[in-house]
Amino acid sequence: MAELLTSAQMRAAEQAAMASGAVTGLDLMERAGQGVVNAALGAWPELAHSSYKAVVLCGPGNNGGDGFVIARLLKQRGWDVEVFLYGTPEKLPPDARTNYERWQALGDVAGFVDLCVGQIESCDLVIDALFGTGLTRPIPAVMAAVAQGLAHPNGAARRVAVDLPTGLCSDSGRILGDDPSAVFPSDLTVSFHSLKQGHVLGQGAEICGQVAVADIGLNAVGETLRAGMQDGPAVTLYDEPHRSALAKQGFGHKYNHGHALILTGPSGKTGAARLAARAALRVGTGLVTLGTPHEAVTEVAAQITALMLIEIDTPDLLTRVLSDPRLNALCFGPGFGVARAGAFLPAVLASRRATVLDADALTALAQSDSGFANLHENCVLTPHAGEFKRLFPDLAARLAEPPLTGPAYSKVDATRSAAQRAGCTVLFKGPDTVIASPDGQCSVSAAVYERAAPWLATAGAGDVLAGLIAGLMARGFPPHQAAEIAAWLHVEAARSFGPGLIAEDLPETLPKVLRGLSL
């Protein structure tokens, strides 16, 4: 799994690499500039065959330094290059200053105030090297005006951001300030060494366009690099489960693969739990039983075949059913009814079973007098943004405040705090789903860029996810891992099915996704 770094971790990695003597800042800057040129020519191969016109916007720090390298490399390819600098050359940090001077041997540098949007629109490539990981406050008005012009360019200019689109916070993927247009949208963003959190969280993906990662040689520094990264455990970008984790052994039988109990709502509301149950069965749980109130039994029975059914009308009955230790995972909440969920909550939590709390169970939890006291480490909470706000109003409020300084409070920060507070795994949904656990594990399951899955925004998709997590916990996966694998399979199923997806299609597409993993 790839790491998603914060700006502080990236700085620490660079410092460690330089302190080891393996590289200099100038080496890193040269590789960064070269990496951007390579990525741009890779994205638009037509640009490699002739010389074109570029406008390079350089800022007052090392991001600007990368810009001077790019200007020089393009000029050396025969391009017509215009460079604009925000700030004064005397104040550039040493490596950026050196590259400013190297560029001066090849061309002029104009002041940023002399730039007009028309100049950008008439070029082939515009390089945003204004601010990168050093952005700490909203961009100045003069830059925001240019950014607005670039948002809907009339010309054919391809927009490339160096490290991050200027205005976007590297840690949170949020636009600094209260002006949503104060950011340079790009068609291609070239990050260095690895992606930063801001490339996948929040508005990151929308603003970055596509992303590419340029290797600037930090991996070679190995242990020194790790030692430099002391700013908390890294967040990972979850990629795909190992085949060995999900495969079933040839000699097993159904009881080796767990037994999930999915609790349904009353009649007319059982669809959500049935979706969850079907997902649990498809993800390989040995047995899946729907726990249904008496009055809904006929409705549920009419709809199911491979699933089993048991009557559960009261919390006491649930406790009695759960005296069977073979029922090893629970899914509680989809379509359940908030008041009923409040009544069942103590029995569910007292069972100490691996439990997914979703939908109405989350609302009931937010309203319950005992709060998070009875949650345990085998619970997984799966809130969407509205449910997160009910459960953790102060964290949600921090996330909703316009971020005036950087690095800004992020969805990773909020989910990590939520997991600490709840004492269990929290999966905070969205295209940038964040999964955090009290032991500090944190990963992002991103449905962005080539993994975009906009058709998942459909009623019932969340119920399927809850069923997948419960099913994987029944199969024996620990909560954090179950949540990660479920979120990944969920997105893969949506992508595999494609447009027209409805929630029912997700469990039915799982076999194809699992086959794709060579199970």
Ligand X SMILES: NC(=O)C1=CN([C@@H]2O[C@H](COP(=O)(O)OP(=O)(O)OC[C@H]3O[C@@H](n4cnc5c(N)ncnc54)[C@H](O)[C@@H]3O)[C@@H](O)[C@H]2O)[C@@H](O)CC1
Ligand Y SMILES: Nc1ncnc2c1ncn2[C@@H]1O[C@H](COP(=O)(O)OP(=O)(O)O)[C@@H](O)[C@H]1O
Binding residues for K(+): 63, 128, 166
Residues touching ligand X, count (CB under 6 A): 28
Site for ligand X contains 13 (CB under 6 A): no
State the Cα–Cα distance between residues 61 and 17, nearest whole angstrom. Answer: 19
Binding site per annotation, positions for AMP = 429-433, 462
Euclidean distance between CA atoms 469 and 329, whole angstroms: 9
Give the nearest distance from C-beta 167 to K ion in angstroms. 9
294 interacts with, out of ligand X, ligand Y, K ion, none, CB within 5 to 8 A per kind: none
> Do the beta carbons of residue 167 and residue 408 sit within 8 Å?
no
CB of 56 to ligand X, least distance (A): 13
Task: Indicate the DSSP class of residue 254.
Answer: G
Q: Which residue has the tokens 């460690």?
A: 16
Mark the segment that binds ligand Y (CB under 6 A) among 9-17, 233-241, 461-469, 507-515: 461-469
Q: Whole-angstrom Cα distance, residue 132 to residue 229?
A: 19
Name the residue nearer to ligand Y (CB basis): 196 or 429: 429
Nearer to ligand X (CB atom), residue 183 or residue 447: 183
Closest separation in Å from C-beta 431 to ligand Y: 4
DSSP 86: S
Binding mask 93-132 for ligand X (x = CB under 6 A): x-------------------------------------xx
Burial of 383 (0-12, 13-18, 19+ CB in 10 A): buried
DSSP-based three-state secondary structure for 387: helix
Considering only residues 345, 465, 470, 506, which one is a binding residue for ligand Y as defined by CB under 6 A? Answer: 465
Nearer to ligand X, 138 or 286 (CB): 138
Question: Hey, which bits of 25-144 come out as E strands?
Answer: 53-58, 80-85, 109-111, 125-129
**Taking CB under 6 A as the rule, does residue 507 contact ligand Y?**
no
Q: Which is nearer to ligand Y, 102 or 384 (CB)?
A: 384
453 binds, among ligand Y, K ion, ligand X, none (CB under 5 to 8 A by kind): ligand Y
Q: Are strands 442-446 and 432-436 parallel, antiparallel or unpaired?
A: antiparallel
Residue of 296, 318, 297, 307 lying closest to 274 (CA atoms): 307
Q: Strand, helix or coil at 339? A: helix
Closest to ligand X by CB, 162 or 380: 162
Helix (H) / strand (E) element for 68: namely: helix 62-76
Distance (Å, whole) CA 321 – CA 346: 15
Site for ligand Y in 336-365 (CB under 6 A): 359
CA distance 257 to 335: 26
The answer to whether residue 389 forms part of the interface with ligand Y (CB under 6 A) is no
Number of Cβ within 10 Å of residue 458's Cβ equals 17
- Comparing CB distances to ligand Y, the nearer of 23 and 465 is 465
Task: Give the residue, chosen from 135, 218, 347, 412, that forms a contact with ligand X under the rule CB under 6 A.
Answer: 135
Contact assessment for residue 277 and residue 469, using Cβ atoms and an 8 Å cutoff: no
Q: Which does 432 bind (CB under 5 to 8 A by kind): K ion, ligand X, ligand Y, none?
A: none
The three state secondary structure string of 31-61 is HHHHHHHHHHHHHCHHHHCCCCEEEEEECCC
Report d(CA 437, CA 421) in Å as an integer: 10
Of the ranges 53-61, 301-309, 379-387, 435-443, which one interacts with ligand X (CB under 6 A)? 53-61
What, of ligand X, K ion, ligand Y, none, does residue 384 touch, CB below 5 to 8 Å by kind?
Answer: ligand Y
Q: Is the dihedral of CA 281, 284, 289, 291 positive or negative?
A: negative
Minimal CB distance residue for ligand Y: 462
Q: Which of 125, 418, 435, 447 binds ligand Y (CB under 6 A)?
A: 447
User: In a 3-state reduction of DSSP, which class is residue 173?
Assistant: coil
Residue 162 binding ligand X, by CB under 6 A: yes
Of 157-165, 229-237, 289-297, 332-340, which part binds K ion (CB under 5 A)? Answer: 157-165
Q: How far apart are the first and last CA of the chain?
A: 20
Task: Give min distance, CB of 412 to K ion, in A.
Answer: 21
| Window of 103-111, 324-332, 364-372, 424-432 that interacts with ligand Y by CB under 6 A | 424-432
Residues 123-152 touching K ion, rule: CB under 5 A, are: 128, 132
Quote the Cα angle for 16-19-22, to 5°: 90
Residue with tokens 């999966």: 427
335 is a contact residue toward ligand Y (CB under 6 A): no
**Residue ranges that bind ligand Y, judged by CB under 6 A:** 359, 384, 429-431, 433, 447, 453-454, 456-457, 459-463, 465, 490
**Residue ranges that bind K ion, judged by CB under 5 A:** 128, 132, 161-162, 166
**Residue ranges that bind ligand X, judged by CB under 6 A:** 14, 25, 28-29, 32, 59-66, 93, 131-140, 162-163, 192, 216
